[in-house]
Protein backbone atom coordinates (compact mmCIF):
# COMPACT_ATOMS: atom_id res chain seq x y z
CA UNK A 1 0.00 0.00 0.00
CA UNK A 2 2.74 2.42 0.97
CA UNK A 3 4.25 2.10 -2.49
CA UNK A 4 1.05 3.51 -3.99
CA UNK A 5 1.60 6.77 -2.16
CA UNK A 6 5.23 7.21 -3.02
CA UNK A 7 6.13 9.91 -5.47
CA UNK A 8 9.29 11.28 -6.90
CA UNK A 9 10.36 14.57 -5.37
CA UNK A 10 12.77 15.07 -8.23
CA UNK A 11 9.84 15.15 -10.70
CA UNK A 12 8.21 18.02 -8.84
CA UNK A 13 11.52 19.86 -8.52
CA UNK A 14 12.24 19.46 -12.24
CA UNK A 15 8.78 20.67 -13.28
CA UNK A 16 8.74 23.65 -10.93
CA UNK A 17 12.29 24.71 -11.79
CA UNK A 18 11.78 24.44 -15.53
CA UNK A 19 8.53 26.44 -15.55
CA UNK A 20 9.13 28.96 -12.76
CA UNK A 21 9.95 31.85 -15.09
CA UNK A 22 6.78 31.48 -17.17
CA UNK A 23 4.23 34.25 -16.64
CA UNK A 24 1.65 32.95 -14.16
CA UNK A 25 3.85 29.90 -13.57
CA UNK A 26 1.87 28.29 -10.77
CA UNK A 27 -0.93 26.94 -12.97
CA UNK A 28 1.30 25.28 -15.59
CA UNK A 29 3.41 23.78 -12.76
CA UNK A 30 0.42 22.34 -10.91
CA UNK A 31 -1.03 21.11 -14.19
CA UNK A 32 2.13 19.24 -15.09
CA UNK A 33 2.60 17.78 -11.62
CA UNK A 34 -1.00 16.55 -11.73
CA UNK A 35 -0.47 15.10 -15.22
CA UNK A 36 2.78 13.32 -14.32
CA UNK A 37 2.05 12.14 -10.77
CA UNK A 38 -1.72 11.84 -11.00
CA UNK A 39 -2.12 13.93 -7.85
CA UNK A 40 -0.55 16.81 -5.96
CA UNK A 41 0.94 15.66 -2.66
CA UNK A 42 0.94 18.07 0.27
CA UNK A 43 4.70 18.10 0.41
CA UNK A 44 4.84 19.02 -3.28
CA UNK A 45 2.79 22.12 -2.45
CA UNK A 46 5.52 23.18 -0.02
CA UNK A 47 8.27 22.48 -2.56
CA UNK A 48 6.53 24.48 -5.28
CA UNK A 49 5.92 27.34 -2.85
CA UNK A 50 9.62 27.41 -2.02
CA UNK A 51 10.70 27.44 -5.66
CA UNK A 52 8.22 30.16 -6.66
CA UNK A 53 8.83 32.20 -3.51
CA UNK A 54 5.14 32.05 -2.65
CA UNK A 55 3.57 31.09 0.67
CA UNK A 56 2.30 27.53 1.10
CA UNK A 57 -1.14 29.01 1.70
CA UNK A 58 -1.10 30.67 -1.71
CA UNK A 59 -0.15 27.46 -3.50
CA UNK A 60 -2.64 25.43 -1.46
CA UNK A 61 -5.32 28.00 -2.24
CA UNK A 62 -4.81 27.55 -5.96
CA UNK A 63 -4.37 23.78 -5.94
CA UNK A 64 -7.55 23.32 -3.89
CA UNK A 65 -9.63 25.60 -6.13
CA UNK A 66 -9.55 23.47 -9.27
CA UNK A 67 -11.42 20.16 -9.59
CA UNK A 68 -8.65 18.55 -11.65
CA UNK A 69 -6.06 18.84 -8.92
CA UNK A 70 -6.31 15.79 -6.69
CA UNK A 71 -5.02 15.57 -3.15
CA UNK A 72 -5.04 11.79 -2.89
CA UNK A 73 -3.38 9.30 -5.20
CA UNK A 74 -5.90 7.92 -7.71
CA UNK A 75 -6.54 4.27 -8.50
CA UNK A 76 -4.78 2.70 -11.47
CA UNK A 77 -7.71 3.37 -13.77
CA UNK A 78 -9.62 6.65 -13.51
CA UNK A 79 -13.19 6.57 -14.78
CA UNK A 80 -14.91 9.88 -15.44
CA UNK A 81 -18.63 9.99 -15.98
CA UNK A 82 -20.30 13.05 -17.47
CA UNK A 83 -23.18 14.22 -15.33
CA UNK A 84 -24.21 17.28 -17.34
CA UNK A 85 -27.53 17.95 -19.07
CA UNK A 86 -26.94 16.46 -22.50
CA UNK A 87 -25.80 13.16 -21.02
CA UNK A 88 -28.70 13.24 -18.55
CA UNK A 89 -31.05 13.55 -21.53
CA UNK A 90 -29.62 10.29 -22.89
CA UNK A 91 -29.72 8.11 -19.81
CA UNK A 92 -26.58 9.38 -18.09
CA UNK A 93 -28.08 9.01 -14.62
CA UNK A 94 -28.94 5.35 -15.17
CA UNK A 95 -25.43 4.76 -16.51
CA UNK A 96 -23.87 6.54 -13.53
CA UNK A 97 -25.93 4.44 -11.09
CA UNK A 98 -24.88 1.29 -12.88
CA UNK A 99 -21.19 2.23 -12.74
CA UNK A 100 -21.39 3.10 -9.04
CA UNK A 101 -23.04 -0.21 -8.28
CA UNK A 102 -20.68 -2.19 -10.46
CA UNK A 103 -17.58 -0.67 -8.85
CA UNK A 104 -19.14 -0.50 -5.40
CA UNK A 105 -17.96 3.08 -4.87
CA UNK A 106 -19.37 6.57 -5.10
CA UNK A 107 -18.09 9.59 -7.01
CA UNK A 108 -14.74 10.82 -5.72
CA UNK A 109 -13.89 7.39 -4.31
CA UNK A 110 -11.33 4.70 -5.11
CA UNK A 111 -11.95 0.96 -4.85
CA UNK A 112 -10.23 -0.72 -1.91
CA UNK A 113 -7.97 -2.69 -4.27
CA UNK A 114 -6.93 0.72 -5.73
CA UNK A 115 -7.80 -0.35 -9.25
CA UNK A 116 -10.55 2.16 -10.03
CA UNK A 117 -11.26 5.76 -9.14
CA UNK A 118 -14.64 7.20 -10.08
CA UNK A 119 -14.92 10.91 -10.83
CA UNK A 120 -17.80 13.09 -11.95
CA UNK A 121 -17.15 15.42 -14.87
CA UNK A 122 -19.35 18.21 -16.18
CA UNK A 123 -19.26 18.03 -19.94
CA UNK A 124 -16.66 16.37 -22.12
CA UNK A 125 -17.71 18.26 -25.26
CA UNK A 126 -19.03 15.03 -26.73
CA UNK A 127 -22.68 16.03 -26.36
CA UNK A 128 -23.65 14.82 -29.83
CA UNK A 129 -22.63 11.31 -28.70
CA UNK A 130 -24.17 11.33 -25.23
CA UNK A 131 -23.82 9.79 -22.74
CA UNK A 132 -20.05 10.06 -22.56
CA UNK A 133 -17.48 8.61 -20.18
CA UNK A 134 -13.69 8.59 -20.07
CA UNK A 135 -11.85 5.41 -19.14
CA UNK A 136 -8.14 5.76 -18.54
CA UNK A 137 -7.99 8.86 -20.72
CA UNK A 138 -10.02 7.35 -23.54
CA UNK A 139 -13.31 9.01 -24.45
CA UNK A 140 -16.27 6.73 -25.11
CA UNK A 141 -19.46 7.99 -26.75
CA UNK A 142 -23.04 6.65 -26.51
CA UNK A 143 -21.89 4.56 -23.57
CA UNK A 144 -24.26 1.96 -22.16
CA UNK A 145 -24.12 -0.19 -19.02
CA UNK A 146 -23.28 -3.12 -21.35
CA UNK A 147 -20.31 -1.23 -22.86
CA UNK A 148 -19.07 -0.45 -19.41
CA UNK A 149 -19.35 -4.05 -18.21
CA UNK A 150 -17.58 -5.25 -21.35
CA UNK A 151 -14.78 -2.80 -20.75
CA UNK A 152 -14.41 -3.84 -17.10
CA UNK A 153 -14.41 -7.51 -18.06
CA UNK A 154 -11.69 -6.89 -20.64
CA UNK A 155 -9.60 -5.07 -18.08
CA UNK A 156 -10.09 -7.82 -15.51
CA UNK A 157 -8.81 -10.24 -18.13
CA UNK A 158 -5.77 -8.08 -18.78
CA UNK A 159 -4.91 -7.86 -15.12
CA UNK A 160 -4.98 -11.56 -14.41
Write out the residues near other proteins by the rule CB under 8 A: 23-28, 30-31, 34, 61-62, 65-69, 84-90, 121-130, 132, 137, 139-142
Shortest distance, CB of residue 2 to other proteins, whole angstroms?
A: 28
Which CB, 4 or 57, lies closer to other proteins? 57
Q: Count of CB atoms within 10 A of residue 19's CB?
A: 20
Which CB, 68 or 149, lies closer to other proteins? 68
Count of residues making up the chain? 160
Shortest distance, CB of residue 64 to other proteins, whole angstroms?
A: 9
The CA-CA-CA angle for residues 118, 39, 31, to 5°, reads: 110
Which CB, 6 or 65, lies closer to other proteins? 65
Shortest distance, CB of residue 137 to other proteins, whole angstroms?
A: 7
Q: Coil, helix or strand for 77?
A: strand
Contact between 16 and 29 (Cβ < 8 Å): yes
Shortest distance, CB of residue 120 to other proteins, whole angstroms?
A: 9
Which CB, 42 or 104, lies closer to other proteins? 42
118 phi/psi in degrees, rounded to 5: -110, 125
Which CB, 26 or 103, lies closer to other proteins? 26
> If phi over 0 gives left and psi between -120 and 50 gives alpha, with beta otherwise, what is residue 136?
left
Shortest distance, CB of residue 104 to other proteins, whole angstroms?
A: 24
The CA-CA-CA angle for residues 134, 94, 120, to 5°, reads: 40
Amino acid sequence: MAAEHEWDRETVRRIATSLKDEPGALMPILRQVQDELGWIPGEAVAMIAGILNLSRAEVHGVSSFYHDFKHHPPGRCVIQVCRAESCQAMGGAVLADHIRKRLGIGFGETTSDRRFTLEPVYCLGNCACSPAIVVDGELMGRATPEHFDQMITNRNGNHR
